[in-house]
Amino acid sequence: MESVNTTPTTEAPAIRLQGLRKTFGSIVAVDGIDLTIKAGEVVALLGPNGAGKSTTIDLALGFATPTAGSATLFGGDPREAITAGRVGAMLQGGALLPDLTVRQTVTLIAAAHRHPLPVHEALERAKVADIAKQKVNKLSGGQLQRARFAVAIVSNPDLIFLDEPTAAMDVETRRTFWQSMREFTDAGRTVVFATHYLDEADAYADRIVMMAGGRVVADGTPAEVKAVVSGRRIRASFDFEWTPEAEAELYELPGVRSVDRRGDVLTIVSDESDAALRTLLSHHADVYDIEVTAHSMDDAFMALTAGADDRSASSTVRDAALIGDRS
């Protein structure tokens, strides 16, 4: 009788980067990154231009050799995972053959894999079934991105890397793209995507890894990253006379961090926004058009990536909160 090994195995992380570093001459593109991404996580890689996002993805895929450190996928060499069809990628500038149709392109890639999705399924999932007969060189920028997504998923990968996948997509196409991504990840697949659209990261990622100057400056859930910039913003129009005394009084409101005035609009940032608003209204019952908003991902991005080039950036949200507090 054949023996069956029923011992449970601990699944290796989808991605493990250890002490990862890459230099190009005197340029330090990636400056010592330690990152573990578990299977099933949807991770957004954020950071300003030149932060090292694309280089990190290239290193994780084994497309570039690290100057120091290591990158593994599912506990092994990235090239093994790629050969096994476990990894799909949509990279910046990844070219497709111009004279093939979308269907021919996806069919060609499917043939190179052992356990591909049926071609019609990949076309439907990427929402390109309607343009399957169109030649690649006749596609618009947004259509081309969707075709490249079909190519990335046809191997039926467990892990997918997307480098600025929605660049060149209009608002509606972006929405449709993320809907198909969400359907695709419902099956527990791991996704790492780099983007400049902070709203996308906020809406679709479980985890945000923010990079600046080749380092990780924040790593946490979208809510944790946004919480780095503490307080809420109260904005209101006012009619009262703006005097030094009136301004000083506003600084006495509970939890106030800042007071700003533009024309007849007042902005107060407070850690105790409910109490601050109540007190404000008790002193100035006539303020109107009141808005209370949480800080946005844009605010967190600005606070976390500012001054990263001085290489003093920290590596966790907790530490990064200090950067936010000081700014």
Ligand X SMILES: Nc1ncnc2c1ncn2[C@@H]1O[C@H](COP(=O)(O)OP(=O)(O)OP(=O)(O)O)[C@@H](O)[C@H]1O
Question: Cβ closer to ligand X: 40 or 48?
Answer: 48
Binding-site size for ligand X (CB under 6 A) equals: 11
For residue 298 the two structure tokens come to: 């844009």
What is the distance between the alpha carbons of residues 263 and 36, in angstroms, rounded to a whole number?
A: 49
- 159-76-32 Cα angle (round to 5): 85
Question: Cβ closer to ligand X: 148 or 232?
Answer: 148
Least distance in angstroms from the C-beta of 92 to ligand X? 7
Instruction: Count how many residues are written for the chain.
Output: 327
Least distance in angstroms from the C-beta of 18 to ligand X? 18
Least distance in angstroms from the C-beta of 32 to ligand X? 14
Least distance in angstroms from the C-beta of 63 to ligand X? 11
24 binds ligand X (CB under 6 A): yes
Largest CA distance in the chain: 91
Question: Cβ closer to ligand X: 60 or 191?
Answer: 60
Candidates 19, 27, 265, 319; binder of ligand X (CB under 6 A) is: 27
- 240-242-245 Cα angle (round to 5): 110
Least distance in angstroms from the C-beta of 205 to ligand X? 16
Question: Cβ closer to ligand X: 4 or 95?
Answer: 95
Least distance in angstroms from the C-beta of 54 to ligand X? 3
Least distance in angstroms from the C-beta of 261 to ligand X? 36
Question: Cβ closer to ligand X: 27 or 275?
Answer: 27
Site string for ligand X, 42-61 (x = CB under 6 A): -----x-xxxxxxx------
Question: Cβ closer to ligand X: 27 or 294?
Answer: 27
Question: Cβ closer to ligand X: 61 or 253?
Answer: 61
- With helix as H, strand as E and coil as C, how does the chain read? CCCCCCCCCCCCCCEEEEEEEEEECCEEEEEEEEEEECCCCEEEEECCCCCCHHHHHHHHCCCCCCCEEEEEECCECHHHHHHCCCEEEECCCCCCCCCCEHHHHHHHHHHCCCCCCCHHHHHHHCCCHHHCCCEHHHCCHHHHHHHHHHHHHCCCCCEEEEECCCCCCCHHHHHHHHHHHHHHHCCCCEEEEECCCHHHHHHHCCEEEEEECCEEEEEECHHHHHHCCCCEEEEEECCCCCCHHHHHHHHCCCCEEEEEEECCEEEEEECCHHHHHHHHHHHCCCCEEEEEEECCHHHHHHHHHCCHHHCCCCCCHHHHHHHHHHC
Least distance in angstroms from the C-beta of 55 to ligand X? 3
- 322-325-327 Cα angle (round to 5): 110
Least distance in angstroms from the C-beta of 66 to ligand X? 13
Question: Cβ closer to ligand X: 2 or 310?
Answer: 310
309 binds ligand X (CB under 6 A): no
29 binds ligand X (CB under 6 A): yes
Question: Cβ closer to ligand X: 64 or 109?
Answer: 64
Give the interface with ligand X as residue ranges (CB under 6 A): 24, 27, 29, 47, 49-55
